[in-house]
């Protein structure tokens, strides 16, 4: 798994985002057990307390749930996962819009370009 961190943003919020990405990409499948805090922290090269905090936040959001003795699992709740996908899609689209606006395209241009691209993909 790859982890990258930007400057000046709390590491735990970055961890939350990146774990969400891992879930959305299916690197952690619904119902899967995720590795223990220490292993995840080691993999990301971050403080175990920070990782713990990020996982706790994800649990609060309902994307993870913990079973008392056996560890933490990815939710199987379809609505939660769809919601996550939707959120991420929204974020990518927003990024795309920002980039494309910078090179002088307007809303119509962008929608047209996306449709064009979608046709080409098949």
With beta carbons less than 8 A apart as the criterion, state whether 73 and 67 touch. yes
Give the whole-angstrom CA distance, residue 16 versus residue 2: 14
Which of 1, 33, 38, 107 is in the footprint of another protein by CB under 8 A? 38
Among 17, 21, 30, 48, binds another protein (CB under 8 A): 48
Nearer to another protein, 19 or 84 (CB): 19
Binds another protein (CB under 8 A): choice among 1, 10, 86, 91: 10
| Cβ pair 20, 6 in contact under 8 A | no
Q: How far apart are CA 15 and CA 54, in angstroms?
A: 6
Q: What is the DSSP letter of 28?
A: S
Over the window 49 to 88, marking each residue x when it contacts another protein by CB under 8 A and - when it does not, the resulting string is xx--x-----------------------------------
Q: How many Cβ atoms from other residues are within 10 Å of residue 110's Cβ?
A: 16
Backbone angles phi, psi at 110, to 5 degrees: -65, -45
Q: How far is the CB of 64 from another protein (least distance, A)?
A: 20
Q: Does 107 bind another protein (CB under 8 A)?
A: no
CB of 54 to another protein, least distance (A): 10
Return residues touching another protein (CB under 8 A). 5, 7-12, 38, 41-42, 44-50, 53
């Amino acid at each position: 798994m790859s982890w990258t961190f930007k400057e000046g943003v709390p590491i735990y919020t970055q961890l939350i985002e990146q774990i969400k990405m891992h879930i959305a990409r299916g690197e952690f499948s619904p119902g899967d057990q995720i590795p223990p805090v220490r292993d995840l922290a080691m993999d990301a090269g971050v403080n175990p307390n920070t990782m713990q905090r990020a996982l706790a936040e994800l649990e609060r959001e309902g994307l993870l749930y913990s079973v008392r003795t056996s560890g933490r699992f990815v939710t199987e709740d379809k609505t939660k996962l769809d919601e996550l996908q939707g959120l991420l899609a929204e974020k990518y689209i927003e990024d795309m819009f920002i980039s494309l606006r910078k090179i002088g395209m307007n809303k119509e241009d962008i929608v047209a370009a996306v449709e064009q691209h979608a046709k080409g993909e098949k």
